[in-house]
Each structure stands twice: as C-alpha cells, then as structure tokens.
C-alpha cells in the first residue's frame, strides 16, 4: 500500500518531467527519418489496409461494415502494443541516462507511455475523420472516449510497472512479452469477435483480458453503439479491479527493486 502511494506521489510531483521527457522520447525515436512522426500514421494505415483486404474479403468475408468496425478497434491496438513492449524494456534500456539514484524511477515507464499517447491521439483524430467518410459521424457516445483513453493509460502504467521491473531483473521477460502480445492480438476482438449468445463460455473467458473491455469500449464510442461502461457495469467493475490489483503488485515490485536496478544493468 505504501509503495503504491510513493509511486502515485512521484507521478504527481514529477508530472512536468514526464511531459518533457516524453517529448524528447518522441523526438529521438523519429528524428532520423525524413517523414518523422508521419510514420506513426502511415504505418497503421498500411496495416489496416492489409487486414481489411485479408480478413474482410478473403478469410472472413465480412463485407462493407468490416472496415469501420476494424478501424474503431484496431486504433487502440496501435497504442497498446508498442506501449506494452516498450515500457517493458524502458527501465533497463535507460539506466545509463539515469545519473542519480534519487531520480524518480517510476516516471520512466510513464513517460514512455505518454510519448506513445501523443501519437495515439493523432492517429485517433485521423481515424475519427476516416470513420466520418465511411458513414459513422461522431455521435453523443463519443463523449465516453476520453474515459477509455484514460482507462487505457492507467492499465498500461500498472502493467508497465510490473513488466519493466521484471525484465530489468530477467531480460527474457521482455522477449516473453513481445511474443505474448502477438498472441493477444488474436485473442482480443480486433479482427474477429465471437457471438456471446452462441459461445457464452468462450466469450466470458476472453473477457478476462482487460484489453477486451478497452477495445469494445472504443468501438462503442467511435461507432456510436451504446454507453458501454454503464451498459456493462459489472465488466467495468471487473476492469478497474484488475487495474488496481496490477497497480498494487507493480508498485510494490518496483519500489522493492528500484535501488538495485543499476546493479542489473
């Protein structure tokens, strides 16, 4: 409990640091190519096009409504996937930048997530415009979108505290996470979804994955389907319970090992 408070206090106290460092993080990732940050838009667009072609026409033959459905869900995946894989290596790959033991280490995963968040917001803007062209103009339901963005950030941060600590101690954890995320892509309803009436058990098992909640929430807000967080309030409670538990585990791991991070370099 006390380590959770320590981490929270650090985040609030060093918020300016998080913002500045995330800007530099973004700059150093994109400074060497000519199109720079535009790649953060181009790359997802190419992937969406190929998934649309392969899954929409060849494998699943889902027809016209597939593209907006795909875009509304996959947009958050382009945030979650790089954020999870990069936060997991964030601490050990930046140890040489940290030149003071008193440096608030817990801001490292959070500034890496923030750097990805800016790119996500840009891509989200582009996707909202594209959805408008495919006939899904923003509705009142889009008001719940900020809630889902915030929920994603908090989930990523709680998870990032755990993964960044573990992979600093054992580097292989990072490799496990990278492979696991490839699996998760197919276990989260991004390309396909099961009908809850036909396969209730499987769907319920899949729903244990908190990313399921996020992806469906994004869809509900972008496609104007429902007030997902209220309509599925039990699921909302489950999601936040998961986030809080992950955060408690993550912060206690982080605080316990952070003085020794430099020894694991």
Partner 1 sequence: MEKSVIVKDITKKYKLYNKNSEKLLDLLLPKSYGEEYFALRNVSFEAEKGDVIGFVGVNGSGKSTLSNIIAGIVPPTDGNVQTNGKTALIAVSSGLNNQLTGRENIELKMLMLGFDKNRIKELEPEIIEFSELGKFIDQPVKSYSSGMKSRLGFSISVHIDPDILIIDEALSVGDKNFAEKCLEKMNEFKAKGKTMFFVSHSIGQMKKFCQKALWLEYGELKAYGAMKEVMPQYEAFLKEYNAMSKQEQKKYREEQMKRRSSALV
Please give the radius of gyration of the chain, using alpha carbons only, rounded to the nearest integer. 19
Segment lying near partner 1 (by CB under 8 A), choices 16-24, 135-143, 146-154, 197-205 = 16-24
Does position 1 bind partner 1 by CB under 8 A?
no
C-beta of 101 vs 237, nearer to partner 1? 101
Is there a contact between 173 and 163 (Cβ–Cβ < 8 Å)? yes
Neighbours of 6 (CB within 10 A): 17
Residue range at the interface with partner 1 (CB under 8 A); choices 15-23, 124-132, 200-208, 220-228: 15-23
**Does residue 220 contact residue 235 with C-beta atoms inside 8 Å?**
no
CB count within 10 Å of CB 150 equals 10
Among 1, 2, 12, 16, binds partner 1 (CB under 8 A): 16
What angle, rounded to 10 degrees, do the helices at 145-169 and 172-187 form?
150
Binding mask 18-57 for partner 1 (x = CB under 8 A): --xx--x--xxx-xx-------------------------
Q: Closest separation between CB of residue 15 and partner 1, Å?
A: 12
Cα(265)–Cα(263) distance, integer angstroms: 6
Site string for partner 1, 95-134 (x = CB under 8 A): -xxxxxxxx-------------------------------
Give the contacts of 252 (CB within 8 A, at least 6 positions apart). Answer: 3, 4
Q: What are phi and psi of 35, to 5 degrees?
A: -80, -10
Using CB under 8 A as the criterion, what x/- string covers residues 159-198 for binding partner 1?
Answer: ----------xx----------------------------
Nearer to partner 1, 93 or 226 (CB): 93
Structure tokens at 82: 């790089």
Count the neighbouring beta carbons within 10 Å of the beta carbon of residue 222: 27
Between residue 54 and residue 83, which ones bind partner 1 under the rule CB under 8 A?
A: none
Q: Which is nearer to partner 1, 15 or 186 (CB)?
A: 15
Question: Given the complex with partner 1, which of 122 and 169 has the nearer CB atom?
Answer: 169
* Nearest Cα to Cα of residue 72 among 150, 175, 189: 189
Residues forming the site for partner 1 (CB under 8 A):
16-17, 20-21, 24, 27-29, 31-32, 96-103, 169-170, 259-260, 262-263
């Amino acid at each position: 409990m006390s380590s959770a408070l320590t981490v929270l206090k650090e985040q609030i106290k060093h918020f300016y640091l998080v913002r500045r460092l995330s800007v530099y993080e973004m700059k150093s990732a994109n400074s060497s190519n000519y199109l720079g940050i535009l790649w953060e838009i181009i790359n997802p667009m190419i992937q969406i096009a190929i998934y649309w072609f392969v899954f929409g026409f060849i494998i699943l033959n889902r027809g016209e409504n597939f593209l907006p459905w795909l875009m509304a869900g996959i947009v958050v995946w382009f945030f979650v996937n790089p954020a999870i894989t990069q936060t997991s290596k964030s601490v050990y790959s930046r140890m040489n930048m940290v030149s003071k033991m008193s440096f608030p280490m817990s801001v490292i995963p959070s500034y890496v997530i923030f750097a990805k968040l800016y790119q996500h917001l840009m891509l989200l803007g582009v996707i909202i415009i594209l959805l408008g062209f495919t006939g899904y103009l923003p509705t009142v339901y889009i008001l719940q979108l900020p809630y889902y963005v915030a929920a994603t950030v908090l989930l990523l941060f709680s998870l990032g505290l755990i993964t960044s600590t573990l992979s600093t101690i054992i580097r292989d954890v990072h490799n496990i996470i990278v492979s696991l995320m490839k699996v998760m892509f197919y276990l989260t309803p991004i390309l396909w979804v099961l009908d809850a009436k036909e396969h209730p058990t499987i769907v319920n098992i899949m729903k244990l994955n908190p990313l399921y909640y996020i992806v469906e929430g994004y869809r509900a807000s972008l496609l104007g389907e429902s007030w997902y967080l209220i309509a599925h309030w039990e699921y909302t409670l489950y999601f936040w319970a998961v986030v809080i538990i992950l955060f408690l585990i993550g912060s206690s791991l982080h605080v316990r090992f952070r003085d020794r991070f430099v020894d694991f370099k």
